[in-house]
Structures are given as C-alpha cells and as structure tokens.
Amino acid sequence: MEKWQLDDLFTSYESTEFTTAMATLEDLIKETKKFTEEVTVDSDPRLFLKRYIDLATALRTTFLRTFAYTSLRLSTNAQDEEANGWMNTLQKMSSETTAFQTSVSKWVPTIDNLQSIIESSDDLKPYAYHLESIKDRAKYVLSDAEETLISKLTQTGSTAWSRLQSLLTSLLEVEFEGQVVTLSDIRNRAHSKDPSVRKKAYEAELEAYKKIEQSVAFALNGVKGEVNEISRLRGFSSPLDEAVYNSRMKRSTLDALIASMRKHLPMFRQYLKRKAQLLGHKNGLPWYDLFAPLGSSERSFTSEEAIAYVVKNFKTFGEDLANLAQRSYDQSWIDFTPRSGKRGGAFCFNLHPIKQSRILMNFDGSFSNVITLAHELGHAYHGDRIFKEAILNSSYTMPVAETASTLCETIVKKAALNDSEGEEQLFILEQSLMGTTQVIVDILSRYIFEEAIFTMREKTPLSPKKFNEVMINAQKEAYGDALDAEYLHPYMWVNKGHYYSGSLSFYNFPYAFGLLFAKGLYAKFQETGQAFAEEIDTLLQKTGQMSVEDVAKLVDIDVSSEAFWDQSLSVIEEEIALFLAITE
C-alpha cells in the first residue's frame, strides 16, 4: 500500500494495451494530418467542427493515458531507461500534432456565424467555451511552420532542461552526519524537533546544491531565455502577461491579489518574529527554523493512520469527499515512500481517461505531511468533479487548480485545531500558520524572483551567484526583517521545479489565489452548511469552461476586488492574533 499501482493505465510497455494505444496514436496523428490538408475557409463548418471535436477527443484521451503512464514511472525512478525512451517518443509524436492544432486555431476564427452554429447543434453546444477560446487565442498563434518548429525545438529546449533539473535534484546525494541521504530526506529534516538537526540539515542542503548549481543554472537560463523569445514572438508584452492570459484571468485580478498580499505582510512578520523569540533568536528567524515545530504533539502517522485521519475530517464537508479519499488508498493511487531516484515534493495527476488520479508523496509520518496528503487529495477531488465533463472541457487553469486542494487543507487544519488544546493546539495552529506563510510570503518572494529573472535574462544568462543574489533579495523584500539575513536560502531556485516549465511560467501566484479563494469558500461553507458544499462541487466541475472571474461569480465572489482578498487575509490575521495571544 506504500506504492501506487499503474496497472489501470498499463501493466507494461510490452502489454497488448500499450502497443494498441501507440498504434492508435499513430493512426490519429495521420488523421490530424489529413484534417489539416482538407480544412479550408470553404469547409462545411458544422461537419468539420464535429470532426475536429471527435478527433481532438480521441487524440487527447490516448495521448494523456500513454504520457501519464510514462511520466508517473519517471517521477518515481528518474533513471528508468525504458520510460525515458518512451517519453522521448511521445514528445516527438506530440510535436507532430502541432500543425493540426495550428490549422484549427486559424480556421475557427474564419467562421462568421460560429456562435449560432454552435447553438444550433446539440453535438457542438457542450463545447461552446472550448471553441470560443480557440477563436480568442488565434491572435497569439503563429504560422504553421513556426508553431511546428517551436513544438519540436522545445522538446530539446525547455522540456529537456526541465527534465535535467528533475533528474539532478532527484539523484543529488547529500552528506549528512556520515551518511548519504536524498534531497527529499534532508529537506524533511527541517521539521525535526532537534534544533541541531535542523541547522545541520540546512547547511548540508546548501552545500549539496553546489555540486549541481552550474548545470541547473544552465537549465534555468535555457528555460527563461526560450520563454522570453516565444512569448514576445506571439505578441505578449511579457511572460507574466502570457501567464495571466493562460490563467484565464484579468491582470486587474492579479494586481488586486498581489496588492492585498503586500498590504498584509506586516502581520506575517509579527508571527515570524514571535516564533524567532520563542526559539531563542534575536536577529529574526533563521531559514533553518522556518519549519521548526512549536508546542508538542505525540502524533506520528503511518500512511494508513494518515488516510483514516483525513477521511474522518473530510466527512465534515461531505461523504463524496471522504469516500474519494478512502478509495484513493484502497485502490493504491498514492505513492508514499521516499527513495533514491524519486522526485521530491508532492503532486496529484488527474487521469481523465480512467476517471482516477495518482498522488506522489514523500511521506515521513509528520502532521505536516498529513496536511500535504489532504492538499493532494483535494486535487483528486477536483479531478473527480471534472471527470463528469468531456475531456476537452476538463482543462482548468492554475489559479482555480489550487482551490479544492487548499479547501481540503483548511478542512483538516480547522478540525485538528478544534479537537486540540494546550501544547497540541499550539503545535497545530503553528503548523497551519507555517503553511499559510509559505503560500503568501514565500510565494510572493518566488513571484518577485521570477519577474526579476525574466527581465534580467533578456540581457544575458545569469550565473549561479547571480541567481542566488536575486533570490536573497526577493526573500528580503517579502520577509523583511522577520528573517535573519545571515541565514536565508539562496538556492531555492535550484529546488523548485515550477521555475523550469517552458509552458507554465509564474506557477507561484496560483497558490496564493487558491489559498485565499478557498478561505473565502470555507467561510461561506461554515455560514451556510451542506447546501453550499453542493455549490462548490458545481464550481469545481465548471472550472474548465469559464474564466477565473466567472467561476468565482458562481458563488457570488468578486475576485477582481482587493476587498475580497483583504477579507480572506483577515481570516488568517485572526489565527495570527490567536497565536500571539497564546504565546504571550
């Protein structure tokens, strides 16, 4: 039960099912080429739109299943040679569909009466948002030759650089007290009760990064340089402009969110300074004690106990959520065990073709890992809602992607806090604030860092030393005097895989959006009860077919208003006030 099973995808690369899927993929690619050759401005729009929907559905279903199997194998074993070979094959096949996507992107906007055609067809009506989005995005689509070339070059560019960062960090050997441990293991020690262990682990982590800093710096320069060029070529004013567009949100919404986060930084600094005092530090909190536990809890969880705890608390929201969590464990959707070659952190992969998800963890039995489990199960629950929709309507954007996960975190944290008192209450409260501070303050530092790196990369590649300097400055801007300037984390750019995506820049502000949006949803749930839980289900189900602003309007929330974000942050402010009171 400690490792996931992938048999529901495929049992092996030699299986009849996988061989058939690959053959089907080849046939579908041939069909896309035929479609590209035949579609013209004079094509019958009803006939060709239906043909496109059917072909795109089959293509995405088959490709996602084969890609997911390969990606999931690599995530637990970066040196899986067979999986690496198939990943290369799948990426090349993916690039062969670029002309199809481009031809559709250029043909759909030529249909004068697109909306009326969609409304008059029962086959097309469910895909209205998808087709209208194609029309809107056409202004950023390049020529067939350019799009095909970009697709092919990114496979040996940003995609390869991203895989290099993942490989190097997953295999990095860290020397610690006479032993060699993995990066995930050493980072988990930041939660140790022993202050000497936390500090030594921090020092060992920073020292280990020096082994790979040059290679990873090349990777980051490669990714950001590529994104700058392609973003400009498409007509975006900046990679941030493109990220906001891809998030289906308005820049005014992001500006309101960031402004509110900055406005409330002083209250987070109060919390961090108090924590520093409690741990005996006079110059602010050193980085190595950011995750130091306060209070005490004898709780240490096995994977089975962690699931049972989460399921019990999920029942306060609804049986569907609790049942989904139990099913994920019973059917071995979760890979718990840290090991060499397995990537760090945690993630959830929604698998629409089989209506399941897979969750990767590096579980160490701590309460914080239980919260991480609740977070990832929230992603799985979002997937379970979105599986009710067609696969072409299932792609939701990053800001709303963090909504269900953060809501589930909040459910478990609140329940744990209400069931505790004394030292355990302090422990749980501080664990909650620790996570919230990461999602608001540290995420802001990552946002500041990435914005600066994109600007600087326009002029020249950056050295590891320069990346470190920019990261330190970003941390100082976000954390202020709450942290000890002598003990920051210059190498966070090496560790965080989010920086290395060529297709998903600024994967930082969505976490803050998700946290604060979820806080607002949870507050309304507490006020109105089970009926509102059903509204949240509808909201999650429709996230693939609406803008961020329209999704929020389903529950009468205006996310473009700074007042909404202020209200959500005030909920956190109450927790900080409680923390300051009980530690007086």
Strands in 334-335's sheet, in edge-to-edge order, are 334-335, 356-360, 347-351
Least reliable range by pLDDT among 150-154, 327-331, 332-336: 150-154
The residue written with tokens 């087709």 in the block is 131
pLDDT digits (tens, 9 = 90+) for 16-74: 999 999 999 999 999 999 999 999 888 899 999 999 999 999 999 999 999 999 999 99
Instruction: Specify whether domain 16-156 bears CATH 2.40.30.10.
Output: no
Beta bridge partners of 349: 358
Assign 425 a pLDDT band (cuts: 50, 70, 90): confident
- Cα–Cα distances in angstroms (integers) from residue 392 to residues 134, 169, 238, 257, in the given order: 12, 34, 28, 29
Other Cβ atoms less than 10 A from the Cβ of 555: the count is 16
Tell me whether residue 422 is exposed, middle or buried, using C-beta atoms within 10 angstroms of its C-beta: 0 to 12, 13 to 18, 19 or more: exposed
Q: Is the dihedral of CA 338, 342, 344, 349 positive or negative?
A: negative
Q: Is the dihedral of CA 114, 116, 120, 123 positive or negative?
A: positive
Residue 448 has pLDDT above 90, yes or no: yes
DSSP conformation letters of 31-66: HHHHHHHH--TTS-HHHHHHHHHHHHHHHHHHHHHH
Q: How far apart are CA 505 and CA 147, in angstroms?
A: 19
Per-residue pLDDT, 527: 84
Residue 99 has pLDDT above 80, yes or no: yes
Residue 323 has pLDDT above 90, yes or no: yes
DSSP conformation letters of 489-510: -TTHHHH-GGGG-SS----SHH
Name every residue whose Cβ is closer than 8 Å to that of residue 212 and which is 6 or more positions away in sequence: 168, 169, 172, 494
Per-residue pLDDT, 184: 87
The pLDDT of 475-488, averaged and rounded, is 97
The pLDDT of 166-191, averaged and rounded, is 93
Per-residue pLDDT, 285: 98
Residue 450 has pLDDT above 90, yes or no: yes
Least reliable range by pLDDT among 88-97, 166-175, 381-390, 414-423: 414-423
The pLDDT of 417-421, averaged and rounded, is 82
Q: How far apart are CA 303 and CA 1, in angstroms?
A: 8
Per-residue pLDDT, 503: 93
What would the 3-class secondary structure string for 372-435 be? HHHHHHHHHHHHHHHCCCCHHHCCCCHHHHCHHHHHHHHHHHHHHHHCCCHHHHHHHHHHHHHH
Per-residue pLDDT, 161: 97
Same fold for the domain at 16-156 and the one at 303-410+509-563? no
Per-residue pLDDT, 551: 93
Whether the Cβ atoms of residue 359 and residue 347 lie closer than 8 Å to each other = yes
pTM for the model:
0.82
Per-residue pLDDT, 156: 93
Least reliable range by pLDDT among 8-17, 95-104, 196-205: 95-104
Nearest to 76 by CA among 312, 350, 359, 282: 359
Residue 1 has pLDDT above 80, yes or no: no
Q: How far apart are CA 521 and CA 568, in angstroms?
A: 9
Q: What is the dihedral of CA 386, 391, 397, 399, to 10 degrees?
A: 10
Q: How far apart are CA 16 and CA 431, in angstroms?
A: 48
Q: Is the dihedral of CA 72, 77, 83, 84 positive or negative?
A: positive
Residues 425, 426, 432, CA angle at the centre, nearest 5°? 90
Nearest to 257 by CA among 547, 431, 514, 450: 514
Residue 367 has pLDDT above 90, yes or no: no
Per-residue pLDDT, 420: 80
Q: How far apart are CA 291 and CA 273, in angstroms?
A: 14
**Options 1.10.1370.40, 3.30.70.3040, 1.10.3720.10, 3.40.630.30; which CATH number does 303-410+509-563 get?**
1.10.1370.40
pLDDT digits (tens, 9 = 90+) for 375-394: 999 999 999 999 999 999 99
Assign 455 a pLDDT band (cuts: 50, 70, 90): very high
Name every residue whose Cβ is closer than 8 Å to that of residue 399 and which is 6 or more positions away in sequence: 247, 249, 509, 510, 513, 514, 517, 548
Q: Is the dihedral of CA 571, 568, 275, 181 positive or negative?
A: positive
Domain spans in the chain, listed from the N-terminal domain onward: 16-156, 173-211, 303-410+509-563
The pLDDT of 241-252, averaged and rounded, is 95
The residue written with tokens 């530090």 in the block is 281
Give the distance from CA 343 to its chain's centroid. 15
274 against 141, higher pLDDT:
274
Per-residue pLDDT, 70: 98
Per-residue pLDDT, 399: 87
Average pLDDT, whole number, for the chain? Answer: 94
Query: Strand locations in 130-197, DSSP E?
Result: 173-176, 179-182
DSSP conformation letters of 530-570: HHHHHHHHHHHHTGGGS-HHHHHHTTT--TT-HHHHHHHHH
The pLDDT of 169-176, averaged and rounded, is 94
The one-letter amino acid at 285 = L
The pLDDT of 520-527, averaged and rounded, is 86
Nearest to 333 by CA among 345, 343, 325, 341: 325
Residue 102 tokens read as: 């481009």
